[in-house]
């Protein structure tokens, strides 16, 4: 029943195949217990009733007494390649995969490159580096909400790349480059998703890699003010990344935010008056990507707000090129739902009746198949806060995820005083804040900054 792996190791056509359930154990750093002992104890605890309860988080106070001094929390998640809503899985039909980890709390470091003679040898801050899993990204993965299934697709992408490498598939016959490109408007969660993915992989692949690193490249710092030096800086940085990748026990996740800074189309640059250095940067980047893809422990994650300016040769190297758009009404409802749960946890909102999840809202016919509000009476009075929140979500369409997660804070700044407040009062304030934010954004768009 227990398997210490990433996920399903190979596809199966067996209709009775077991459901994969991931058990992520956040271990206290001071614990001296072995991972195997903790996993065996949890296996007995979780399966004692013959069923495993999934989509749940067990906090320290609900764990057996003998585990409380070793474990902070336990997350139980069904492998999302299964598509049913049942949260109770019979033990005989479950395959538990345990992932035990502790969080690094050292924070980020700066990766510097030696300066050039023209720069008087001053070091260049080329990247920010984290050891993973990190407290900086704890719970980020769970709180990222998208309309598409991009999170599970990315996990499947990495597991498939590892499977192909382990099976010795010839990359000259079947090609994959370990490069992901997420593009779309600002504030939609592209960078956060890349960081959260690296963090989540460090947990799920803990049995395979002793440690993991996230290297976030500072694209703008790689452009030297001296002609022809930028391409050399890119080469130096990737040489450093190659040194990290040479350790097979290390998972190296490289994030290039605003990748268009390094991979701007050479066609557009050739038409400019001084194209040389920018073209050298693109050439250097493409060459280094071709070299580093030979390492199965490297993943290149890139984002762009203006994908139309990216060189086509770079776009072609990306295995996954996914548009991340503004959230829909359904996604916004889930974002607001998570914000209210956090405010309730902090004692800022008083909730007399729990909000319905989006799935529950749909099942109760409070919204139709077209996700439009239907007005009913009687039992809907009990669900009134959920319906009101759904209406506010509809009025918030067009806002980015970044803006949406600011609105609860701005609601307290602009509308509410002296918490706690009732859920209904908070939702009313949230609606007003969303309207004000939309008006402010509209006015900025109507009065652009003057051209200098």
Q: Give the pLDDT of the chain (452 residues) as one tens digit per residue.
A: 444 445 433 344 444 578 899 999 999 999 999 999 999 999 999 999 888 888 899 999 999 999 999 999 999 998 764 445 567 888 888 899 999 999 999 999 998 888 665 555 678 888 999 999 999 999 999 999 999 999 999 999 999 999 999 999 999 999 999 999 999 999 999 999 999 999 999 999 999 999 999 999 988 877 655 546 778 889 999 999 999 999 999 999 999 999 998 888 777 655 454 557 788 889 999 999 999 999 999 999 999 999 889 999 999 999 999 999 999 999 999 999 999 999 999 999 999 888 999 988 888 766 654 444 444 444 455 578 999 999 999 999 999 999 999 999 999 998 888 888 999 999 999 999 999 998 888 888 887 666 65
Our CA dihedral for 106, 110, 111, 116, rounded to 10 degrees, sits at: -160
Distances (CA, A) of 287 to 21, 239, 267, 282, 321: 40, 12, 18, 9, 20
Q: Mapping DSSP to helix (H, G, I), strand (E, B) and coil, where does residue 123 land? A: coil
Distance from C-alpha of 418 to C-alpha of 399, rounded to nearest angstrom: 28
Which of 99, 98, 81 lies closest to 18, judged by CA? 81
Residue with tokens 């939609």: 188
Residue with tokens 């359930």: 21
Query: Which domains does the chain carry?
Result: 19-101 (3.10.330), 109-323 (3.40.50.300), 329-443 (no CATH)
Given a contact cutoff of 8 angstroms between Cβ atoms, the answer to whether 374 and 365 are in contact is yes
Q: Rounded to two decimals, what is the model's pTM?
A: 0.90
Distance from C-alpha of 431 to C-alpha of 425, rounded to nearest angstrom: 10
Q: Please count the other Cβ atoms lying within 10 Å of the Cβ belonging to residue 232.
A: 17
Determine if residue 398 is left, alpha or beta; phi over 0 gives left, psi from -120 to 50 gives alpha, anything else beta: left
Q: Which two tokens stand for residue 198?
A: 């690296």
Q: What is the DSSP-derived secondary structure letter of residue 174? A: S
Q: Mapping DSSP to helix (H, G, I), strand (E, B) and coil, where does residue 128 land? A: strand
Q: Which two tokens stand for residue 438?
A: 């939309």
């Amino acid at each position: 029943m227990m398997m210490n792996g990433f996920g399903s190791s190979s596809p199966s056509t067996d209709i009775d195949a077991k459901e994969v359930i991931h058990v992520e154990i956040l271990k206290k750093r001071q614990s001296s217990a072995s991972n195997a002992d903790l996993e065996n104890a949890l296996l007995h605890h979780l399966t004692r009733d013959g069923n495993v309860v999934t989509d749940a988080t067990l906090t320290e106070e609900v764990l057996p007494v003998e585990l409380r001094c070793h474990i902070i929390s336990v997350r139980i998640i069904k492998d999302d390649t299964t598509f049913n809503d049942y949260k109770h899985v019979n033990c005989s039909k479950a395959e538990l995969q345990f992932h035990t980890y502790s969080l690094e709390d050292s924070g980020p470091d700066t990766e510097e490159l030696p300066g050039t003679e023209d720069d008087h040898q001053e070091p260049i801050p080329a990247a920010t580096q984290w050891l993973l899993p990190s407290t900086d990204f704890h719970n980020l993965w769970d709180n990222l909400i998208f309309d598409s299934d991009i999170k599970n697709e990315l996990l499947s992408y990495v597991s498939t790349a590892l499977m192909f490498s382990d099976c010795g598939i010839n990359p000259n016959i079947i090609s994959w480059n370990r490069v992901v490109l997420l593009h779309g408007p600002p504030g939609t969660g592209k960078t956060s998703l890349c960081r959260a993915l690296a963090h989540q992989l460090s947990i799920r692949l803990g049995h395979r890699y002793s440690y993991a690193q996230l290297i976030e490249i500072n694209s703008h710092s790689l452009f030297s003010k001296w002609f022809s030096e930028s391409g050399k800086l890119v080469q130096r940085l990737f040489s450093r990344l190659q040194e990290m990748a040479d350790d097979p026990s290390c998972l190296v996740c490289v994030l290039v935010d605003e990748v268009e800074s390094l991979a701007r189309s050479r066609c557009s640059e050739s038409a400019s008056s001084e194209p040389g250095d920018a073209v050298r940067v693109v050439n250097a980047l493409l060459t280094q990507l071709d070299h580093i893809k030979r390492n199965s422990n490297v993943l290149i994650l890139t984002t762009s707000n203006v994908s139309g300016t990216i060189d086509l040769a770079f776009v072609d190297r990306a295995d996954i090129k996914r548009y991340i758009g503004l959230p829909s009404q359904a996604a916004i409802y889930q974002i607001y739902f998570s914000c209210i749960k956090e405010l309730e946890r902090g004692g800022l909102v008083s909730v007399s009746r729990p909000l319905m999840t989006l799935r529950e809202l749909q099942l109760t016919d409070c919204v139709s198949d077209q996700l439009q509000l239907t007005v009913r009476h009687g039992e809907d009075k009990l669900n009134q806060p959920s319906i009101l929140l759904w209406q506010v979500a509809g009025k918030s369409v067009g806002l980015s995820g970044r803006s949406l997660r600011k609105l609860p804070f701005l609601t307290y700044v602009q509308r509410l005083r002296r918490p706690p407040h009732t859920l209904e009062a908070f939702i009313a304030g949230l609606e007003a804040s969303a309207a004000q934010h939309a008006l402010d954004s509209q006015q900025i768009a109507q009065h652009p900054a003057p051209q200098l």
